[in-house]
Amino acid sequence: MVEELLGAAAGVAAVGLVYVAAAARVVKQYERGVILRLGRLRGSVREPGFTMILPAVDRLHKVNMQIVTMPVPAQEGITRDNVTVRVDAVVYFQVVDAAAAIINVEDYRFAVSQMAQTSLRSIIGKSDLDDLLSNREKLNQGLELMLDSPAIGWGVQIDRVEIKDVSLPESMKRSMARQAEADRERRARVINADAELQASKKLAEAAHQMADAPSALQLRLLQTVMAVAAEKNSTLVLPIPVELLRFLERGAQPPQDHAARATTEPAAVPESATVDQPAAVSEPTAVEESTEPPAEPTADPPAEPPAEPPGQPPLK
């Protein structure tokens, strides 16, 4: 009798152990458990730790509550300014309502992925190329709002969305490179012109200062000569003031009043001049400075031979 009771107790204990092993579940700290009893939601969400279910009746679904990083495949689209680009992004989200994530949507991961791709293509069509390249913060916020609106009903909260890369055609890359080069060249020219303006103002101030003190110009000249000679070369450069060259040029030119008078007054020729004797110049200085030769005296025309009488042969 005692042996039968011990055997029955052992059998019950074995059945109990099997039941406990079949009904025992462990929910991890980053998970939540959703129990469906005969297909219907049973009770509240199970918290992390040890929990029991009815074998063959209850079904426990574990939902990960961690932040999920999901890459969005590259989407090709045409921007508002008619440029073809390929844009890929990354979405960070987490489940905030485990029951809604199991009941309201079939696969919340797939749903978030498809919604992210659709929203990314919509953002590409509404934006310009410059916004995609430089104003990504605003686009990220707009993309996050577009994903967060339907995801609330799925028990999912969008943490953030980041546009990861923007791929451009090679022709567009070359065009942008030329534009950037031209812009940098323009800025370099503007900076150079500004530097020339400032330098000219400083040089003008220095010129006024040296005009007040002539010795300063001489000291500056000696300093320049010393700077050139310090390089141990065989060529010595001596700067010559421009005023000295102008002075020498004015000294080399003849007086304008003498030249004008010599060209306007002809040479005086005496009345007693003949063909054999040249005319005596009354003003030797004016003749020498004149650029035109003196006028030659006119000689009398030769006498005509006498007319021969008619009837006589001509003399040979």
20-77 confidence digits (pLDDT tens): 778 888 888 889 989 888 888 887 888 888 888 888 888 888 899 999 999 999 988 8
Helices 214-229 & 170-212 angle (0-180, nearest 10): 130
Residue 299 in tokens: 């000689």
**Among the ranges given (77-91, 138-152, 160-174, 277-291), the one the predictor scored with the smallest mean pLDDT:** 277-291
Highest mean pLDDT, choosing among 198-212, 281-295, 299-313: 198-212
Helices 136-151 & 108-126 angle (0-180, nearest 10): 140
What is the identity of the amino acid at 158?
Answer: I
Residue 50 three-state SS: strand
* Contact between 31 and 4 (Cβ < 8 Å): no
**Among the ranges given (169-173, 226-230, 279-283), the one the predictor scored with the smallest mean pLDDT:** 279-283
- Residue 35: which of 14, 12, 68, 57 has the closest Cα? 57
Per-residue confidence (pLDDT) for residue 254, from 0 to 100 = 64
- Residue 172: which of 81, 56, 304, 105 has the closest Cα? 81
| Band of pLDDT at residue 255, cut at 50, 70 and 90 | low
Q: How far apart are CA 167 and CA 88, in angstroms?
A: 9
CA 182 remoteness from chain centre: 7
Provide φ and ψ at 136, rounded to 5°: -75, -25
CA 88 remoteness from chain centre: 25
What is the identity of the amino acid at 295?
Answer: A
- Residue 66: which of 100, 26, 25, 98 has the closest Cα? 98
Per-residue confidence (pLDDT) for residue 70, from 0 to 100 = 92
Highest mean pLDDT, choosing among 33-47, 260-274, 288-302: 33-47
Q: How far apart are CA 214 and CA 99, in angstroms?
A: 96
Per-residue confidence (pLDDT) for residue 109, from 0 to 100 = 92
Q: What percent of the chain has pLDDT over 70?
A: 74
**HSE on the CB side for 110, CA within 13 Å?**
4
Per-residue confidence (pLDDT) for residue 224, from 0 to 100 = 76
Q: How far apart are CA 159 and CA 140, in angstroms?
A: 11
Per-residue confidence (pLDDT) for residue 285, from 0 to 100 = 40
Q: Is 86 exposed, middle or buried (0-12, 13-18, 19+ CB in 10 A)?
A: middle
Q: List the alpha helices (DSSP H) in the chain.
A: 2-23, 98-103, 108-126, 129-134, 136-151, 170-212, 214-229, 242-252, 256-264, 284-289
Q: How far apart are CA 196 and CA 203, in angstroms?
A: 10
Widest distance between CA atoms in the chain: 209
**Among the ranges given (26-35, 242-251, 267-276), the one the predictor scored with the smallest mean pLDDT:** 267-276
Q: How far apart are CA 230 and CA 224, in angstroms?
A: 10
**Among the ranges given (10-24, 185-199, 256-270), the one the predictor scored with the smallest mean pLDDT:** 256-270
* Contact between 51 and 33 (Cβ < 8 Å): yes
